[in-house]
Homo-oligomer: A and B are copies of this chain.
């Protein structure tokens, strides 16, 4: 799914061709596969190099360590043409977006979850995941601009807190609390964000507000 880091590269635009691009693709595919199959603790530059069929010194020179490999997986995940859903209504867009988030967080094997968990092992990977999410939320801002234009939410509604309000409960339950998604969770979060936004929750605060 496209609003979380993919473990498969299917939605990714063609990467630089030639030998460099091919090696990068092989190595990052190997990182994802090793992570899903054997977990972070078994992830080493050497196992990745072996699986990718690439010389280990090439991997060390280019990615340095496991943190560098993971960071590049996250950076590559953003190299696509993903755009948010455009269903004609704010609720429809957020429902579709949350369906994508839910699909990613519950996919089998749990590749997205493994990537998020691995981000807690490396500062470099954590920063790269943060960049990925920032980019995804930035790409979603048209969802809110369209809703403002349609008059669904007040002028001045800020996109970022609205989008986070809609999606955060899914991550909170599934990633942090690690409980199964209760039925309707994705829809409930989308709907409550719309109701809050309609009531003006995300318009720019008055100066002095906290």
Question: Measuring CB to CB, which residues of chain A are less than 8 angstroms from any residue of chain B?
Answer: 116-117, 120-121, 126-127, 129-130, 133-134, 161, 164-165, 167-169, 171-173, 175-179, 183-185, 187-189, 191-193, 195-202, 205, 209-210
Contact = CB atoms under 8 A, between A and B. Distances in A.
B171 A165 contact: no
B210 A176 contact: no
**Number of copies of this kind of chain in the complex:** 2
Contacts of A171: 168, 171-172, 176
A126 B165 contact: no
Given A178-B130, A188-B161, A210-B184, A196 B205 contact: no
A119 B117 CA distance: 9
Given A117-B120, A127-B178, A164-B172, 11 more contacts: A129-B178, A133-B176, A164-B169, A165-B169, A165-B189, A167-B172, A171-B172, A191-B201, A192-B201, A193-B196, A196-B199
